[in-house]
Structure 1
Amino acid sequence: MNRIFTILVFFMCLTAVANAQLIKGVLYDKTTGQQIPGASVWPKERSKSGVITDAQGKFSIHLNGGEHLIIRMVGYKDFQKHYAIVPSDLQEIYLEPGLALNEVMVTASLANSRSKKAIGTNVDHINAADIVATTNPASLASLVNGRISGAQVYNTNGKVGMPIRFDIRSAATFSMERDPLIFIDGVRYNNGNTADVNSSQEAMSALNDLPMNDIESIDVIKGPAAAASYGAEAANGVVIIQTKRGLSTKKGVAVNVKYTGGFNELANKYDQFVNNGPLNDFFIKGQQHQLYTNLTAQFEPGNSLFFSANTNKNTGIIPGNTDDRQTIRAGYEFTKDRFKLSLTAGYVNGKLSIPQSASGRDDAIWNLMRDQSPWPFISEESWRAIQKEYQNDRFTGSLKLGYTLPLEIKVETLLGFDLNQIDGLNYLPYGYLQGTNNTGSKQVSNRKNENMNWDFKLSRNFVFDPKWQLNVSLLSQLTRATEKVDGISVRNFATPGISNIASAAEILSTTDTYFEKRTHGLYGEAFLNYDNRLFVNAGVRRDVSNMIGRNVASIWYPTVSAAYNIADMGFLQGKVEEWKLRAAYGESGRLPYPNDAQTAYLVENSSFGTVVRPLRKGNPDIKPERTGELEFGTDITIFKQKIGFTYYRQNTRDAIVYTTLLPSLGWPSSLSGDYPENIGKIKGQGIEVTYNGRLFTSTNKKHSLDLFAIFNHQSNEVVNAGGRELLNTVNLIREGLPAFAFYTGVAEGAVFNGSGVYTGAKESAPQVLGKPFPTFNGSFGFNLQLISNFHLQSLFTYSQGAKVYNISMRNVASQGTNFKASEALKAKLATQTPGSADYIATANELSKYAGPRGNFIEKADFIRLSNLTLSYDLGSWAKAQTKGLLKRCVVSVTGNNLWLKTNYGGAEPQIDSQGGSKRTRGISYLSSDWTAVPAPRSYAFSLNIGF
């Protein structure tokens, strides 16, 4: 009986195949028009009879009349169509990019862009175009902060054009940069801050050169588990920014115009001083005006042109602080059969004026808060006369070519440039007094930063059957960065009105520096896909660099990850829409600073002849810092509620510590703490939890309420510091403590002289007083939709567990006469009898505001309403009123930094006098508030229309 049944089934299958007809087709991306290779195609009724589209997206398959054709590809919505009659003509089928969270395409590897469904790490994707279209973020930092897990991103100063600080996961370094790598359209972007004529706290941020209206999406890789393919500089994470292309399936020309106007103001008035008025009144209402337009020309699928222009003029809440920039960008995309071309170009011209208002004797805020009588060190007239500004020109461009060779080998190459010219000016006119100088001074600088990267990739997709695919990639990446700075500082001009350098009587200093950084990386990876459900990726990168010691041949960085999607298993159908398990391990690094590997001597002529003396001792064995990260987590969507969970562990080894050279070996004591060694270890761990869900939808679909929340917990600990304790002001590196723990003495009570009169505070031995990184942080908010077109969006951010060193309050309390708490106690003490119990109690209270730094290391917990936006989509009404001329019309009103609740005693809990990037040797000092400008409150209105 079994044999007869088998024969019958065999003949039935033969009959089905004989009756089947051949259907041919080509698969396209509906957005770009590009052919889609590697997609699975099969009849729904005969799942084992499938095929795979070739390198040109073509397929041929036998199909019976009445059967359903199914097409599936990672990153796209499934395609299914019933064919009552099998067509004989060529079928052109367009797949829509996936809309589900796990189908979002992200760049998790330098080698490839893949669906979130397919990657084994938690890479956050920000749809920046949608956010900026309906809201008005105050800066790039406010666009990113609160929208990604595992990170805090904020401006380190409240003036316009200021640096951005990135605190990503628990990664820590003793001495190296903490900023992530930035790629814009594949271009390795120089995101350093410029402080050639001013302090680092008030530096010019390079990230302001990119208009937010031009950004399509931002992918944030937060750790080495995902960033290993980026190599020796990616331990702090990677930010991949994709600008707009305007790709569409409709031929024609589209124009979009957006105007944004608004103002900034002091968010919270100072009330810590006896005389608060002059300081509060000093701040002004800053204005913001921005006009942005773009044009998209879609000639045919896969052939499009994009152009944008942006003019942006912002004034800050400090008088004279202006940021005036004009930007143009262009992009061209062309795809034809096996060939692909992509071109991008952008140019920025800007001028940033930064009056000194932080970190010094001549800054405005210090002069207004120190004494009850304002401007004790420099007159307001002189302060306003000083010019501090940067002229900025920047060009970025990329050329990307792709071609599919015979044997379906895909060749891609990308050439990227980032060329930046910055001219700095610090000018005190003749006749204005600064310190002891009233005959003028001038400092000028000329900076040229150039970045180049050349990527070359070979890849091949092997299809074993409709369920098993293997993609193999080999990537070569060459990066080169140069920095050249020339400058001169002079003073004492001969007469008023003459300010050229040659007319100065005294040359104070000259600057002539240059460095070049070259890195070459080879990266190979294999990516296995089983049934669009199981994805396994393994890769390794080898880097060589001129930043590494000559005895270090190269560095290897491995990575491996796996993702398993189980939502479509039978027992879960109808209950869970998505469920992904993921795990990954990877390593990446931080390169040493320029000259860490090179020894240099200075040749001088003297009365004794030519003298050669040591200038710098390099370490020929210096290696990059190396961070390994293990990450695992899950993403689940159940009843339209999306929940993500990630746990990670990081271990940094070979951390660079700068140590003291022994004079007995011939090195002068001036080089103390200047010799780099790989002796440090740090471990960290953290948890990231995300939630996105729809709480309510009306029956007519016109009203809905969406909620989101992000919760992060992170910690780190110094495992090895070479047996040393490294201290910079109040930040300590010590084994067993969190990195950069606050460590200093506190007041233990009052000190009295022989007559019982208070003379100061008794300072305790140094002790650990907290850390600059929060233990918990995150965000939450909602999106309320009413009558389809009205939206109310909110974003709250919070932080708990970090502390800030409030240098401002310490300096005022110990050096000035304006700190309310201490001045009130001084007045009270003056009315009491020395030696009495009341006098002693008051003196002990007053000692808390004395010199010991630990008295001013304060908690900096907060919750903030970072953004609130009302928007209304008038598109349908505008289209009807203009007879189709207007296709888009959105109006919005946004408030940023509207409300703040904090236990910090200063004006702003998220502040850092270091100014973001660290560009000097030695350990960092973090989270210090040195008369910084607090983050302003801003309001903006925008009108966004499309033709």
Structure 2
Amino acid sequence: MNRISIFSVILMLMGFVANAQISIKGTVYDKDSKEVLPGVNIVIRGKTQHGTTTDVSGKFNVTVKEHERLILSFTGFKTLELSYNDLLQNPEQKFYMEPGILLNEVTVTASLANSRSKKAIGANIEHIDAGKIVETSNPSSLADIMNGRISGAQVYNTNGKVGMPIRFDIRSSATFSMDRDPLIFIDGIRYNNSNTSDINSSQEGMSALNDLPLNDIASIDVIKGPSAAASYGAEAANGVIVIQTKRGVSGKKGISVNAKYTTGFSQLANKYTQFVNNDAINNFFDKGTEQQVYANMTAQFDQNNSLFFSVNNNVVNGIVPGNRDDRQTIRAGYDFSKDRFKLALTAGFVKGKLSIPQSASGRNDAIWNLMRTKEPWAYITEDTWRAIDKSYDNSRFTGSVKAGYTFPLDIKMETLIGLDVNNIKGVNYLAYGYLLGTSNTGSKTLSNRSNDNLNWDFKLNRNFILNSKLQLNLVLLSQLTRSYEKSSTINVRNFAVDGISNVGSAAEILSVGETDFEKRTHGLYGEAFLSYNDVLFINTGLRRDVSNMVGRNVASIWYPTVSVAYNIAKLPFLHGKVDEWKLRASYGQSGRLPYPTDAQTSYLVQNSSFGTSVTPNTKGNPDIKPERTSELEFGTDINLFKQRISFTYYRQRTTDAIVYTTLKPSLGWPSSLSGDYPENIGIVSGQGIELSINSRVFTSNNNKNSIDVFAILNHQSNEVINANGRDILNTVSLIRQGLPTYAFYSTVSEGPVFNAAGVYTGAKESELKYLGKPFPTFNGSFGFRAQLLGNLSIQSLFTYSQGAKVYNISMRNVASQGDNFKASEDLKALLATQTPDTDAYRATATELAKYANYRGNYIESNDFIRLSNLTISYDLGTWAARQTGGVLKRCVISVTGNNLWLNTSYKGAEPQIDSQGGSSRTRGIGSLSYDWTAVPAPKTFALNLNIGF
């Protein structure tokens, strides 16, 4: 061999050594079950980074060079990292991943632009595995899924009837706005969650969230404040709820069918004891019933195609006679993935009818008639009340198309179009022949409403590998949203004869109305996400919004956000007992848009015998701006000795808070518009602490028995920093500098007043004074989950609240206008038997004075602790598979109860109540935490059977 040939061979050998590599054709398994794991993320990290995923058989094929490392990660499993030498020592090329609960176990919605591993997020974003909750329990609304399961929030139905609104109290409530609902996205669709009260009161409006397909929800991510929600722009200061529904993507080829049957009943949770005649109101309530059938099919046709389809039929009768929700749902989802292209389609349709009998807050309502006097039905006969038909026919279509493509240079494009179309027809009808007031010739109100939402998101994403440890991800996103609402109503009375009920046959048209508004918002959002060594994560973003909902002098609005998360893997001084420890901080800004007509001045054209006149209707402010809320958040998450602990401290500051002030009649505006003029004059601050603990306190040697406990503690407060020197009072709700928002402010009794003969003549009225706030100082939850014998599961959820007040207006009305309030009636009867100007007489009069007609006497504490849910389930899957020869692959039977026990300081029927309902487009400051004869939350029981093929 000549010198040239020898030299060439040496060069080849040197090149081989310098570029030593190994080809891996591996399979990934679950270390415990030994089953293959499809969809595992495979990353090869060196000077650059690239990767793939395992196929449906858990297999992958990559090449790893000597200086590179192989990293396997999968949700619910500990990350497996292997060096080149580790791979050489694994000739079978089988990789076993160990299940584990780590901070990076869950992928959550980090921003509008991205979902990320929880360990990479600097804000406290909560994740709810809703699929597991719904699987065994029986939630009646989104509130039942969320309340008590996330820190920093109370979520509850404002009325105990079926289909009622939900109130969201998230974090410090640092706003004057009555619209406190978070934004809701379902599969990327901007969901219209406005309540409907076209033919009834806002207290008993129909909740739009009643249309959510609870059995189809897979997960819920809750973004609680502007520090995390800034990417969503001008309407996200109340937070964002991101809902993902179930999909057909299983990673395992084949078709599976699951079915769920639910039967249950509900009843009055606590008997009324506050009245002289309690029997009439207690006997009024029915035993409610529920029958629900749900089924879904998932199909993985091949690695690229999957389908999900579900149907649901649910019929619920509430505890108020005539309250009924009859609802049918169809939902489908299709996913396609091939090379650089991805496509996801979703479609859902809901058809339902909700009957809402009139039961609260008026003289023709059932509960008011039953409460006020010893002899019930003083203002309306029971026959007439039962003859009134108040109902909504409701249909809703939601659909989305999401497409993604990876261009050369790894530039990822993704676009989504979401559509939410809701049509509602309402009727309030009383037939001819029933006496209502002074008329027995009937009446009818018809309403027709359409709510249409459209959103279009377009995103470009590029990931840069700067070196072996440093990565930079850049995102640019455009979001266009359009909401259009249109409603019309006609109200008639006096039908000619019995049996004819069409509007045209009525002798008198009382009113005809039509309203509409359009809201358009365009947001442009840019985000830079820096990752160092999979330990340090820094995210910055900026959003610019333009909306037609603000004044003409506001060109655009900017919202910044920045967050940092630092993960400490092990602490040597704790000898490896800390699985993971994360420090986090975030800052962001978001807002609340004004009321739809706040920027516009309108006039009313009226015709009379004197001719046509134009009078002021509303006074708009063309300079109105959205409220801007800034939030700074610090926190830590730690897994220590099998305990998961999360702590968060936040501060909020709202500027440009919208306050509705009084117009001066001297400027030509009528006194009827008092409190209607919008101005940006307020500043509100808020702060809070969120603490959650999840702990495994016992595990048996065979792993068949375990006990987990959890607890959530929230503390929050707010204060009006500036209201431009004004006091704004609505009944007993006050906005004043130095007090909490919506502070209760009224007079109370200071004791009895006697005449010269010592006879009690009434109560002495105090000066106006601060009497509390409608938001709790402390609230949260606790409970346990016990797994016994491998198959039996017992779960409990307790919720509690302390420091809030409720205006018990129903008790005030009964005490001052009726004769059925037991406390005052007993004292009156006792006083009549006693001798004036004696110690016993004066003591009784002192107690009786506490029930005088002053509003402050009925602002009461509503501290409570409640057993919100108890669920017992048993997994019969192994037995069922054996009995059916493997045809039945899953069988779980469960019993669940909601609102089973309550201990409260509140003297009314239900401490967690609000007559204003959920979101309310109310000009003026409105009112919060008013109990105006609202229906209390019922106690419910349900039996669920889940089977899978």
Once residues 26 and 741 of structure 2 are traced to their aligned partners in structure 1, the CA distance between those partners, rounded to angstroms, is 56
Residue 21 (structure 1) aligns with: 21
- Identity, in percent, stands at 70
Q: Please give the residue correspondences for 1:369-448 in structure 2 after superposition, counting only pairs within 5 Å.
A: 369-448=371-450
Q: Would the aligned equivalents of 1:34 and 1:335 in 2 still touch at CA under 8 Å? A: no
Q: For each residue in 1:470-491, what CA deviation from the matched residue of structure 2 results, as whole angstroms up to 9, or x when unmatched?
A: 0000110000001100110001
Q: For each residue in 1:743-790, what CA deviation from the matched residue of structure 2 results, as whole angstroms up to 9, or x when unmatched?
A: 000011223445543332221111111111000000000001111000
The counterpart of 2:676, out of the listed 664, 674, 677, is: 674
Amino acid at match of 1:929: D
Q: For each residue in 1:792-831, what CA deviation from the matched residue of structure 2 results, as whole angstroms up to 9, or x when unmatched?
A: 1000000000111111111111111111111111111111
Residue 576 (structure 1) aligns with: 578
Once residues 540 and 880 of structure 2 are traced to their aligned partners in structure 1, the CA distance between those partners, rounded to angstroms, is 52
Amino acid at match of 2:936: P
Secondary structure of the 1:870 match is strand
Describe the shift of the 1:805–1:466 C-alpha distance in structure 2 as closer, same or farther (beyond 3 A): same
Describe the shift of the 1:32–1:87 C-alpha distance in structure 2 as closer, same or farther (beyond 3 A): closer
Residue 471 (structure 2) aligns with: 469
Q: Would the aligned equivalents of 1:579 and 1:636 in 2 still touch at CA under 8 Å? A: yes
Residue 331 (structure 1) aligns with: 333
Shift of 1:598: 1.5
Once residues 525 and 74 of structure 1 are traced to their aligned partners in structure 2, the CA distance between those partners, rounded to angstroms, is 25
1:41 partnered with 2:44: yes
Once residues 533 and 509 of structure 2 are traced to their aligned partners in structure 1, the CA distance between those partners, rounded to angstroms, is 72
Residue 4 (structure 1) aligns with: none
Secondary structure of the 2:238 match is coil
Shift of 1:607: 6.8
The counterpart of 2:51, out of the listed 53, 56, 61, is: 53
Aligned alpha-carbon RMSD (Å): 2.6
Secondary structure of the 1:583 match is strand
Amino acid at match of 1:41: I
1:938 partnered with 2:940: yes
Describe the shift of the 1:754–1:442 C-alpha distance in structure 2 as closer, same or farther (beyond 3 A): farther
Describe the shift of the 1:603–1:19 C-alpha distance in structure 2 as closer, same or farther (beyond 3 A): closer
Amino acid at match of 2:341: F
Once residues 106 and 98 of structure 1 are traced to their aligned partners in structure 2, the CA distance between those partners, rounded to angstroms, is 17
Secondary structure of the 1:829 match is helix
Q: For each residue in 1:68-127, what CA deviation from the matched residue of structure 2 results, as whole angstroms up to 9, or x when unmatched?
A: 843458997424565448999xx9999999853433011120000111110000000000
Q: Would the aligned equivalents of 1:332 and 1:342 in 2 still touch at CA under 8 Å? A: yes
1:303 partnered with 2:316: no
1:496 partnered with 2:494: no
Q: For each residue in 1:563-615, what CA deviation from the matched residue of structure 2 results, as whole angstroms up to 9, or x when unmatched?
A: 00012466666221010000000000000011111122344566776644433
Residue 632 (structure 2) aligns with: 630
Amino acid at match of 2:788: L
Shift of 1:671: 2.2
Amino acid at match of 1:847: A
Once residues 88 and 659 of structure 2 are traced to their aligned partners in structure 1, the CA distance between those partners, rounded to angstroms, is 73
Amino acid at match of 1:545: S
Q: Please give the residue correspondences for 1:844-863 in structure 2 after superposition, counting only pairs within 5 Å.
A: 844-863=846-865
Amino acid at match of 1:146: G
Once residues 532 and 275 of structure 2 are traced to their aligned partners in structure 1, the CA distance between those partners, rounded to angstroms, is 67
Describe the shift of the 1:575–1:233 C-alpha distance in structure 2 as closer, same or farther (beyond 3 A): same
Amino acid at match of 2:21: Q
Residue 4 (structure 2) aligns with: none
Once residues 477 and 315 of structure 1 are traced to their aligned partners in structure 2, the CA distance between those partners, rounded to angstroms, is 41
Residue 817 (structure 1) aligns with: 819
Once residues 457 and 760 of structure 2 are traced to their aligned partners in structure 1, the CA distance between those partners, rounded to angstroms, is 69
Describe the shift of the 1:889–1:73 C-alpha distance in structure 2 as closer, same or farther (beyond 3 A): closer
1:747 partnered with 2:745: no
Unaligned runs of 5+ in 1: 1-10, 43-47
Shift of 1:322: 0.4
Shift of 1:659: 1.3
The counterpart of 1:181, out of the listed 180, 183, 195, is: 183
Secondary structure of the 2:850 match is helix
Amino acid at match of 1:502: G
Secondary structure of the 1:102 match is helix
Q: Would the aligned equivalents of 2:266 and 2:288 in 1 still touch at CA under 8 Å? A: yes
Q: Please give the residue correspondences for 1:908-947 in structure 2 after superposition, counting only pairs within 5 Å.
A: 908-947=910-949
Once residues 85 and 659 of structure 1 are traced to their aligned partners in structure 2, the CA distance between those partners, rounded to angstroms, is 77
Residue 701 (structure 1) aligns with: 703
Q: Would the aligned equivalents of 2:448 and 2:489 in 1 still touch at CA under 8 Å? A: yes
Once residues 925 and 507 of structure 1 are traced to their aligned partners in structure 2, the CA distance between those partners, rounded to angstroms, is 32
Shift of 1:302: 3.6
The answer to which of 76-85 and 414-423 deviates more is 76-85
Secondary structure of the 1:565 match is strand
Residue 129 (structure 2) aligns with: 127
The counterpart of 1:653, out of the listed 655, 664, 667, is: 655
Describe the shift of the 1:656–1:70 C-alpha distance in structure 2 as closer, same or farther (beyond 3 A): closer
Shift of 1:139: 2.4
The answer to which of 570-579 and 877-886 deviates more is 570-579
Describe the shift of the 1:541–1:581 C-alpha distance in structure 2 as closer, same or farther (beyond 3 A): same
Shift of 1:917: 1.2
Q: For each residue in 1:478-516, what CA deviation from the matched residue of structure 2 results, as whole angstroms up to 9, or x when unmatched?
A: 000011001100011101111110111111111100000
Residue 235 (structure 1) aligns with: 237
Residue 149 (structure 2) aligns with: 147
Residue 70 (structure 1) aligns with: 71
Describe the shift of the 1:149–1:201 C-alpha distance in structure 2 as closer, same or farther (beyond 3 A): same
Q: Would the aligned equivalents of 2:248 and 2:333 in 1 still touch at CA under 8 Å? A: no
Describe the shift of the 1:200–1:605 C-alpha distance in structure 2 as closer, same or farther (beyond 3 A): closer
Residue 268 (structure 1) aligns with: 270
Once residues 28 and 587 of structure 1 are traced to their aligned partners in structure 2, the CA distance between those partners, rounded to angstroms, is 43
Q: Would the aligned equivalents of 2:47 and 2:467 in 1 still touch at CA under 8 Å? A: no
Secondary structure of the 1:769 match is strand
Q: Would the aligned equivalents of 1:659 and 1:672 in 2 still touch at CA under 8 Å? A: yes
Secondary structure of the 2:772 match is coil
Amino acid at match of 1:21: Q
Residue 562 (structure 1) aligns with: 564
The answer to which of 869-878 and 169-178 deviates more is 169-178
Q: Would the aligned equivalents of 1:50 and 1:61 in 2 still touch at CA under 8 Å? A: no
Secondary structure of the 1:781 match is strand
Q: Would the aligned equivalents of 1:53 and 1:59 in 2 still touch at CA under 8 Å? A: no
Number of residue pairs the alignment of both structures matches: 926
Secondary structure of the 1:582 match is strand
The answer to which of 348-357 and 174-183 deviates more is 174-183
Describe the shift of the 1:200–1:28 C-alpha distance in structure 2 as closer, same or farther (beyond 3 A): farther
Describe the shift of the 1:121–1:74 C-alpha distance in structure 2 as closer, same or farther (beyond 3 A): farther
